[in-house]
Amino acid sequence: SKPAQHQRVEAPQHSKCAVYFPEFLIYSQSLQSTRSKTNYSQVIKELFSVIPGEERYRDAGPSRCRTCAVVGNSGNLLGSYYGPVIDNHDFVFRMNKAPVQGYEKDVGSRTTHRIMYPESATHLDNNTHLVLLPFKTLDIQWVTSALTDGSIKRTWFKVIDQLQANKDKVMVMHPAFMHYVHNAWLHIKSRRSYPSTGFLVLIFAMHICDEVNVFGFGANSKGTWHHYFEKTPKSFKRTGKHSGGIECETILELHKRRLIDLYTGW
């Protein structure tokens, strides 16, 4: 049987008789530079007037074996020749603007899901799922706008106002899931810290996939941290508001326990 961390995450239920502000919304509000005065329920209602509902992954069963590749952006992918291995998965998750063209032999050519937030958005083909990470209420409003009238042109800075993406393949990661990863997996007390995109996608994959293989995470064999697509690689170690050390330890432990397979490149 699956470990406890694979259990379904249920969103808190609202009482009809009292005003209730769920903990995950308090956490979500704490990530915003200014407290949102918008009506969250109305924002969600408008969102689901544009994108489909929640039937996308309701196909679990003993006969299913869904394989997933979580592809990060580490420079350790260069020279790895992982491309065919990555492409051989049922689902291939990529993050933000990480390019494929020109790097196919190392990173593969298929993308089934592209995970992004407004500031990291990129146009998609008709076959790729857009998975939005909403770090603030405005992010949810942005995806509704970007798929319709393009009225939102700035969030923290200028963003794509009209996004090329298939509306029927758009998903939004629930803030309750992000809060769950923050608390249950990283055990972080600070509300101003939040999981990295890569770590969120990895845990997301563990909840919807039967086999999870991870590529492009961490440093290369020389201990250098950089992105595979940088023309002039710039080494980085700072993880900002992400708990990079804890995330790295957790990923290594998951690999050790054979819950994921971690491909470390060269």
For residue 19, pLDDT over 50 is answered with no
Spatial CA neighbour of 121 closest among 156, 75, 78 = 156
What is residue 91's DSSP assignment?
A: E
Say if residue 227 carries a ligand binding annotation: yes
Residue 149 Rama label (left phi>0; alpha psi -120 to 50; beta): alpha
CATH code assigned to 23-30+38-47+65-263: 3.90.1480.20
Q: Is 228 annotated as a binding residue?
A: no
In the chain, % helix, strand, coil (3-state, to 5) comes to 30, 10, 55
**pLDDT grade for 139, boundaries at 50, 70 and 90:** very high
Percent of the chain with pLDDT over 90: 59
242 is in an annotated binding site: yes
Q: What is the pLDDT of residue 124?
A: 98
Phi and psi of 241, rounded to 5°?
Answer: -90, 5
* Cα–Cα distance, 28 to 46 (Å, whole number): 19
More confident: 64 or 253: 253
- Please say whether the beta carbons of 226 and 75 come within 8 A: yes
Residue 250 has pLDDT above 90, yes or no: yes
pLDDT reported for residue 165: 97
Give the pLDDT confidence of 195-216 residue by residue, as tens digits: 899 999 999 999 999 999 999 9
Q: Residue 226, by phi and psi: left (phi above 0), alpha (psi -120 to 50) or beta?
A: beta
> Would you please indicate which residues are annotated as catalytic (active-site) residues?
194, 242
The chain-wide mean pLDDT, for the chain, equals 83
Higher pLDDT, 133 or 242: 133
pLDDT of residue 24: 54
The label of the residue with tokens 């799922």 reads 129
pLDDT in tens, 22-47: 565 555 565 555 555 678 889 999 99
Sign of the CA dihedral 114, 121, 43, 24? positive
The answer to whether the beta carbons of residues 177 and 9 sit under 8 Å apart is yes
How far, in Å, CA of 240 to CA of 247, rounded? Answer: 13
Model pTM score: 0.81
The two tokens of residue 1 are 């049987």
Residue 218 structure tokens: 């961490």
Q: In the structure, what pLDDT confidence band is assigned to residue 96 with cuts at 50, 70 and 90?
A: very high
**Boundaries of every domain in the chain:** 23-30+38-47+65-263
> Span 49-59, mean pLDDT?
71
94's enclosing H/E stretch is strand 91-95
Q: What average pLDDT does this structure show over 113-123?
A: 96
Is 39 annotated among the ligand-binding residues?
A: no
218 is in an annotated binding site: yes
Q: How far apart are CA 247 and CA 141, in angstroms?
A: 29
